[in-house]
Amino acid sequence: MTLTEKTSKLKESSYRLASVSNELRNEALLKAAASLRSQADLIISENKKDLENAEKQDLAYALVKRLAITGAKLEQMALGLESLAVLPDPLGQSSLHRELDEGLVLNRKSVPIGLIGVIFESRPDALVQIAGLCMKSGNSVILKGGSEALNSNRILSELIISAAESTDEVFKDTIMLVESREDISKLLEMDQYIDLMIPRGSNALVRYIMDNTKIPVMGHSDGICHMFVDENFDLEQSLELIRDAKCQYPAVCNAIETLLVHEKSADKLIPRLPEMMPDVKLLGDETVCSLISVEAATDEDWDTEYNDLTLSVKVVGGLEEAIDFINLHGSHHTDCILTSDEANASVFMARVDSSSVMKNCSTRFADGFRYGFGAEVGIATGKIHSRGPVGLEGLTIYKYFLEGSGHKVQPYADGEKDFTHKDL
């Protein structure tokens, strides 16, 4: 069977999924979680093959870090599927219930998008999150992971597909893993079947997807996140938050890459950075270099997503300059202000044009699981129907349901009858 024929079958299956009960979708999720746990040794063994190949290829630190599956990470994958199963049904939720006239009632309800294609790099746990979210939201899905995670993705997808199909035959041909780079180009031409593409990966990958398809694309390219330390701030708390946002897991898109410091706070904060983050390579502007011994940052650094233990530090004149800098150099992902000034915090959060804006907490909270979405299919930084961590709600669209009893338009067009337009 060709890729086009397989994709056509997934499109057909998406119509059936739209009417599957929440109870059945939850059962499939719980079976998939149980399967991951029971096959933990096999999964880790397959992942080891990918790690060995990565070592031979001398892959970047960030890729290898995201690639590894430990027992703890596998348990988190299973818990993620189980957490989706206990969330409310995202389908059938009414956002409009209106009487147009007596006996003529309009409802706007959430429905699945249909067939979604997701292209992601390196992280096999992303495959589990994406498959689970699509299963819960009633969508069929095509998964394309990076070649560096081929063995891991293959075994994970096999287990999830098997668990779903053993739950009910309605799940047959609803999840498909594609493996070759050539398949991406073919999929991008299938706008007659695929309703949405979601790329998760490098800026180059996202730009390639956007430039080479007619299919709507949702996602983000870079994760250039900022923290701004305001004039009035808690020094010790701020140092802890900076360290957490940079060091807790530097290889991900919600870790900070640039630290902005108010000029009146620089003398207090900047000299403490090396001791708080001894493993971090600090780059600084002229003022920072005069306060601590670090390498000078270049213009390119302000637009760079490092994905490792490197942090650019810049001193700014105040709140206005910080906001302008973030909107110019950021990627509209996640940005945070550290301040005890409520008015400044409000201005910052209103005017910084990012999908998540924060006050006095780590940017690492910008995550579907931590937001209580169960998991996320990715982070969207655009301004279409979903923004920020895309959970179940972001994988639904709405449909209008109008029920009447022989109502015709002619009497209303002739002025014989009037609409009531009464919200119910």
Q: Does 343 map to a domain?
A: yes
Q: Is residue 57 located within the same domain as residue 203? A: yes
DSSP 297: P
CA dihedral in degrees (394, 396, 402, 403; nearest 10)? -130
The reported pLDDT for the residue numbered 156 is: 98
Residue 160's nearest CA partner among 147, 183, 184, 141 is 141
The CATH number that applies at residue 56 is 3.40.605.10
Q: Is residue 194 located within the same domain as residue 255? A: no
Q: Does 20 map to a domain?
A: yes
CA distance 259 to 315: 8
Q: Is residue 203 located within the same domain as residue 259? A: no
Asked whether the whole model's pTM tops 0.75, one would answer yes
The tokens describing 220, both together, are: 């983000």
The CATH number that applies at residue 353 is 3.40.309.10
Residue 24's nearest CA partner among 220, 183, 170 is 170
The structural domain count of the chain equals 2
Q: Is residue 251 located within the same domain as residue 291? A: yes
Q: Is residue 210 located within the same domain as residue 229? A: no
Helix, strand, or coil (residue 8):
helix
- Which of 365, 392, 419 finishes a domain? 365
Q: Does 423 map to a domain?
A: no
Q: How far apart are the first and last CA of the chain?
A: 50
Residue 254's nearest CA partner among 203, 285, 204, 220 is 220
CA distance 144 to 183: 9
Q: Is residue 25 located within the same domain as residue 90? A: yes
The reported pLDDT for the residue numbered 169 is: 95
Please report the DSSP string for 138-157 in residue order.
Answer: T-EEEEE--GGGHHHHHHHH
Q: Is residue 287 located within the same domain as residue 235? A: yes
Rounded (10°) angle between helices 342-351 and 319-329: 20
Q: Does 406 map to a domain?
A: no
Q: Is residue 145 located within the same domain as residue 235? A: no
One-letter amino acid at 156 equals: L
User: What's the average pLDDT block by block, 10 residues per block, for the chain (424 residues)?
Assistant: 96 96 98 97 96 83 81 94 94 96 96 95 88 97 93 97 97 96 94 94 81 89 92 97 96 94 97 96 97 96 94 98 97 96 97 96 93 82 82 93 96 95 96
The reported pLDDT for the residue numbered 62 is: 67
DSSP 285: -
> H helices then E strands: how many in the chain?
16, 17
CA distance 64 to 194: 31
Q: Is residue 252 located within the same domain as residue 291? A: yes
Residue 259's nearest CA partner among 293, 279, 283, 294 is 283
Q: Does 352 map to a domain?
A: yes
Residue 329's nearest CA partner among 312, 310, 349, 309 is 312
Q: Does 55 map to a domain?
A: yes
Q: Is residue 256 located within the same domain as residue 314? A: yes
Q: Could you count the other beta carbons within 10 Å of the beta carbon of residue 365?
A: 16
Q: Does 31 map to a domain?
A: yes
Q: Is residue 273 located within the same domain as residue 305? A: yes
Q: Is residue 326 located within the same domain as residue 237? A: yes
Domain that includes residue 316, residue range: 225-365
Q: Does 419 map to a domain?
A: no
DSSP 164: H
CA distance 215 to 187: 10
Buried b or exposed e, range 241-256, using 16+ CB within 10 angstroms = bbebbbbeebbbbbbb
